[in-house]
Structure 1
């Protein structure tokens, strides 16, 4: 959505989501991504790269040997090292993901953004639609 808006090629962008339960996933995705990137597990995986090199890894392992040992046993030592390497390599991109997620969420809240909620005239569908409208109001959308 953010990329389509940034291109400034259209006067109107319509996003047709599945029924409201899935539409909530669409609304929550930017916040979930931000929470994931700010999460303790990601920070733990990024810590060796931020401390710096082998010496930093040794220093970090002294302080967190139980945690990394447990994770290593659960996930496998090589897998944990591979994930740490991946997260360290992606560290610079995470900031970009976060800023795009924040921008998308703000776009959903912008005064020029509108939501049209459509439902079949059935009790469950109307209840879901009403819940979706309440969520939109709660999120200032």
Structure 2
């Protein structure tokens, strides 16, 4: 099966400065286990980008927060080379943001999801 490359190394999210190892340690301390979903780091980077886009495209009028949705899209359209935990993130003309990294893993025991993190047989990392 293939999925995200889970070898994050020392890359940090450029907005928060947080590294995967720090976030995983904090998660384990809080919940007593590692995240079940393989795409947790993607979600972290995506949420950070979305919050930055909202901040850049919003204003307050009195006590109201006005978020310009076209401004959010414009901000995300301009993302290129953003340093995320998952690597350098860029958004294309279709609004798809991400990195072109995948890993192929050998996974023989469906009852052991953690095994997918250690049986990498091929990595595509252009």
Structure in which a larger fraction of residues adopt helix: 1
Greater C-alpha Rg = 1
- Give the structure-1-normalised TM-score: 0.27
TM-score by length of 2: 0.29
